[in-house]
Amino acid sequence: MADKAYHSLLASLPHIDSLFDSKQTPISRFQLERRLSALNFDERALLDDIEKLMHWDNEEKEQMGEAELIRHTNRILGRVNSPALKELINWRLDMRTAIAALRRKRAGQKAPSEPQWSFGTRYEFIRRNWNVPYFNLQHTFPWLPDIARAMEEGQSFEAEKILLGAVWQHLTTMASKQRFSFEAVVIYVLRWNLVLRWTTYDREQAIVRFDQLVEGALGEFASALPDQ
Amino acid sequence: MDSFVIALGWLGTFAPVALGAVGSAIGCSLAGQAACGAMLDVESGYGKFVGLSAMPSSQVIYGIVIMFTLMGVGVDESTAGALFGIGLLTGVALLYSAMYQGQAVSAAINASKNKPEVFGLSIAPAAIVEGFAVFAFVFALVLGASVGG
């Protein structure tokens, strides 16, 4: 895409107001894909990779081993030329590493022995500060104590909400610095993904609740139902 | 050497039009692309976006007026240097003001598309940039009139 054609693409995308007040995504995925077709092949491929990398749960990633996942992440990072995007991806990976470390620590595990046990830029720092509260990252990641508390109390939904809010805040701050560029397109798509994630939570919860109610109503006959 | 000085004089005379045209083309292109994008996202009010996207075209008009003023002075050995300086620098000012005005207009279109009530206010940055182009235009005319006099 010619540099300046980002003006057309970004102006065609509807504004995303807020995360937690959103009832639905401002534009459907189908329409979003149509607008993103203005990007050239390389940009589209890179955007896809970044999107998959930043996405919370991705089947493809779950099938990879940790070492392969780290290599895969580094490969994608190697293709990113923009310092702003690199910083964003590393921030997000650091966030994931910090949460993973919190979970490991909570499960009573010791500091990882392998040097590159995770991705991002702070895995070594976390390893060295394993026994320090919040790995000495509470100033860099002010939301970390809140997440730790929510995890301690078993409030996984609250923890997820804090995480989403932190990512949203970071993306919003970055969006204010980026105007009509590939970085701005990536940030828009990532924000769109967050809204999608948040607006589908209720539906997911509703399905789980519905299953529980059905099982409760069927009682002992629930086991007679065919598996899906 | 004399012919080189004369050539510089002509370069300065035409620079405001040429550089103004380049700037206006870039500025209108940026703003026009934003207008086209915005039209995909709104149901009405297309006209104001298209009208706004033509804002950076004023620079080439200023350039034409300056060119005629400088031509009126006449290009000879005594005026060529002054015409070169005035014309070239005014052209550069018009070029950049049109390019950046295009970006300001793009931002205005994007903002007013999402929040129509800020339409008037969102044009203010582009209008301020226009003001700087007008400064360059007016003082080029003032200086041009004093050359050879």
Rounded to two decimals, the ipTM of the complex is 0.73
Q: Which residue type sits at B113?
A: K
Give the count of domains, chain A.
1
Best residue of B29, B30, B48 to probe chain A, by most A CBs closer than 10 Å:
B30
Structure token digits, residue A182:
């590939």
pLDDT, tens digit, for every residue of A154-169?
888 888 888 889 999 9
Mean pLDDT of chain B: 93
**Helical (H) or strand (E) element with A58:** none
Q: Per the domain annotation, does A225 fall within a domain?
A: no
Q: In whole angstroms, what is the distance from residue B7 CA to residue A106 CA?
A: 79
Range of the structural domain that residue B63 is part of: 2-146
Range of the structural domain that residue A170 is part of: 3-217
Q: In whole angstroms, what is the distance from residue B20 CA to residue A43 CA?
A: 33
Structure token digits, residue A146:
């809140």
Q: Which of B12, B16, B24 is nearest to B97 (CA)?
A: B24
B135: pLDDT strictly greater than 90: yes
Identify the pLDDT of residue A57: 61
Of A5, A14, A179, the CB nearest to B107: A179
Q: Per the domain annotation, does A227 fall within a domain?
A: no
Q: Per the domain annotation, does A223 fall within a domain?
A: no
DSSP state of A136: G
Which is more confidently placed, A21 or B106? B106
Mean pLDDT computed over B46-71:
94
Identify the pLDDT of residue A26: 87
Confidence band of A60 (pLDDT split at 50, 70, 90): low
A115: pLDDT strictly greater than 80: no
Identify the pLDDT of residue A197: 86
Residue whose tokens read 């007040």: A21
Sign of the torsion formed by the C-alpha atoms of A48, A52, A58 and A63: positive
Identify the pLDDT of residue A179: 82
Q: Identify all chain A residues contacting B38, using CB atoms and an 8 Å cutoff.
A: 11-12
Confidence band of B103 (pLDDT split at 50, 70, 90): very high
Chain B contact present for A10, CB below 8 A: yes
Residue B30 class from Cβ within 10 Å (0-12 exposed, 13-18 middle, 19+ buried)?
A: buried
Q: Which of B87, B72, B95 is nearest to B14 (CA)?
A: B87
A93: pLDDT strictly greater than 90: no
Confidence band of A222 (pLDDT split at 50, 70, 90): low
**A12/chain B closest Cα distance in angstroms:** 4
Q: Identify all chain A residues contacting B36, using CB atoms and an 8 Å cutoff.
A: 8, 11-12
Q: Per the domain annotation, does A126 fall within a domain?
A: yes
**Residue-wise DSSP of A24-48:** S-SS-HHHHHHHHTTS-HHHHHHHH
Mean pLDDT of chain A: 82
**A28/chain B closest Cα distance in angstroms:** 12
Chain B contact present for A107, CB below 8 A: no
Longest Cα separation, chain A: 64
Best residue of B105, B110, B122 to probe chain A, by most A CBs closer than 10 Å:
B110
Q: Per the domain annotation, does A88 fall within a domain?
A: yes
**A180/chain B closest Cα distance in angstroms:** 9
Residue A19 class from Cβ within 10 Å (0-12 exposed, 13-18 middle, 19+ buried)?
A: buried
Identify the pLDDT of residue A20: 84
Structure token digits, residue B135:
């400064």
Identify the pLDDT of residue A225: 63
Q: In whole angstroms, what is the distance from residue A180 CA to residue A216 CA?
A: 53
Q: In whole angstroms, what is the distance from residue B64 CA to residue B71 CA?
A: 10
Best residue of A10, A12, A13, A39 to probe chain B, by most B CBs closer than 10 Å:
A12
A38: pLDDT strictly greater than 90: no
pLDDT, tens digit, for every residue of A7-28?
888 998 998 888 888 888 888 9
Identify the pLDDT of residue A226: 61
DSSP state of B79: T
pLDDT, tens digit, for every residue of B23-44?
999 999 999 999 998 998 888 8
Closest residue in A to B41 (Cα–Cα): A12
The domain spanning residue B115 has which CATH number?
A: 1.20.120.610
Q: Per the domain annotation, does A158 fall within a domain?
A: yes
Give the count of domains, chain B.
1
Confidence band of A58 (pLDDT split at 50, 70, 90): low
